[in-house]
């Protein structure tokens, strides 16, 4: 291994570490990972560096491929973690607001009930709930644009309820019922979407198997036009079915 190869390898490792560090900082800022989870990922990075050193002996292409796969996984992981966190916060918010409404039934104001109930909230989401409370009851401003759509929505609803304290409890009760119905709808529609995707995946695997069988047994050149037409029609059908599924009107 010459000096230039070592320099290229170390440069790739450094770039990967910088990218990984930036992603971990974003995870911590968005509170999608706990300190323990961040430590686990750091140890995984150390292990990957050892693997990279071994792969570099086998060829530079393997090194580049692993970098691309790892970077894609980090980017995809962020969206997955944010989705799970928002889903968890949505569930915790409904449980939290049920406790707030219970206190309000005893004659306590919305603001006092909200901050008293914070101690009973799950620690993982307590800081988010506190930020929402500060926006609603102290700043009287809309939620920041970097907040999730759900946080902006609940902040708006709580601000409206806080503006009309005599109707706050009734209004928030109705809002919680709406959230429960939305969650039930999401659950039922999600099941239908998962079934459709599973069927599409099975058909895709079968199609790929038949395509490989035809090309390997009858040759590519002899069936080039048929294969190209078949693949084109398959992707057109896939895109059309995806568009139809997006525009489908679910029955609530």
Query: How confident is residue 247, by pLDDT bands cut at 50, 70 and 90?
Result: low
The answer to whether residue 252 sits within a structural domain is no
The answer to whether residue 109 sits within a structural domain is yes
Model pTM score: 0.57
Instruction: Please state, in angstroms and rounded to a whole number, the distance separating the CA atoms of residues 215 and 212.
Output: 5
Which domain, by its residues, includes 52? 3-84
Torsion of CA 70, 73, 77, 80, to 10 degrees: 180
What is the per-residue pLDDT for 97? 92
Q: Which of 56, 84, 112 is the last residue of a domain?
A: 84
Query: How confident is residue 106, by pLDDT bands cut at 50, 70 and 90?
Result: confident
Q: Which of 54, 84, 114 is the last residue of a domain?
A: 84
Residues 58-91 have pLDDT tens digits of 555 556 666 666 666 666 666 677 777 788 888 8
The answer to whether residue 19 sits within a structural domain is yes
Considering its fold, how many domains does the chain have in total? 3
pLDDT score of 250 more than 60: no
If asked whether residues 211 and 178 sit together in one domain, one would say: no
Residues 164-201 have pLDDT tens digits of 888 899 999 999 999 988 888 877 777 777 777 777 77
Instruction: Please state, in angstroms and rounded to a whole number, the distance separating the CA atoms of residues 91 and 128.
Output: 13
Angle, vertex CA 185, rays to CA 183 and CA 188, nearest 5:
110
What is the per-residue pLDDT for 123? 81
Q: Which of 131, 166, 182 is the last residue of a domain?
A: 182
If asked whether residues 141 and 175 sit together in one domain, one would say: yes
If asked whether residues 92 and 151 sit together in one domain, one would say: yes
* Close Cβ partners of 120 (under 8 Å, ≥ 6 residues apart): 96, 99
The answer to whether residue 251 sits within a structural domain is no
């Amino acid at each position: 291994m010459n000096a230039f190869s070592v320099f290229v390898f170390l440069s790739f490792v450094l770039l990967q570490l910088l990218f990984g560090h930036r992603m971990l900082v974003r995870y911590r800022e968005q509170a999608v990972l706990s300190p323990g989870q961040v430590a686990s990922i750091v140890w995984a990075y150390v292990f990957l560096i050892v693997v990279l050193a071994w792969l570099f002996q086998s060829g530079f292409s393997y090194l580049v491929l692993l970098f691309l796969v790892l970077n894609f996984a980090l980017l995809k992981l962020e969206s997955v973690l944010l989705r799970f966190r928002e889903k968890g916060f949505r569930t915790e918010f409904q449980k939290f607001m049920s406790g707030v409404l219970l206190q309000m039934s005893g004659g306590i104001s919305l603001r006092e009930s909200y901050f008293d109930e914070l101690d009973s909230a799950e620690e993982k989401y307590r800081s988010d709930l506190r930020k929402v409370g500060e926006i609603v009851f102290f700043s009287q401003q809309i939620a920041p644009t970097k907040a999730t759509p759900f946080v902006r929505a609940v902040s708006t609803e709580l601000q409206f309820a806080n503006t009309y304290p005599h109707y706050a409890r009734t209004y928030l009760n109705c809002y919680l019922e709406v959230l429960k119905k939305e969650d039930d709808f999401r659950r039922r529609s999600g099941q239908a979407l998962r079934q459709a995707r599973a069927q599409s995946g099975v058909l895709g695997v079968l199609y790929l198997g038949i395509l490989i069988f035809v090309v390997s047994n009858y040759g590519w050149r002899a069936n080039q036009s048929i294969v190209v037409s078949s693949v084109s029609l398959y992707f057109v059908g896939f895109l059309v079915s995806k568009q139809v599924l997006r525009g489908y009107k679910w029955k609530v």
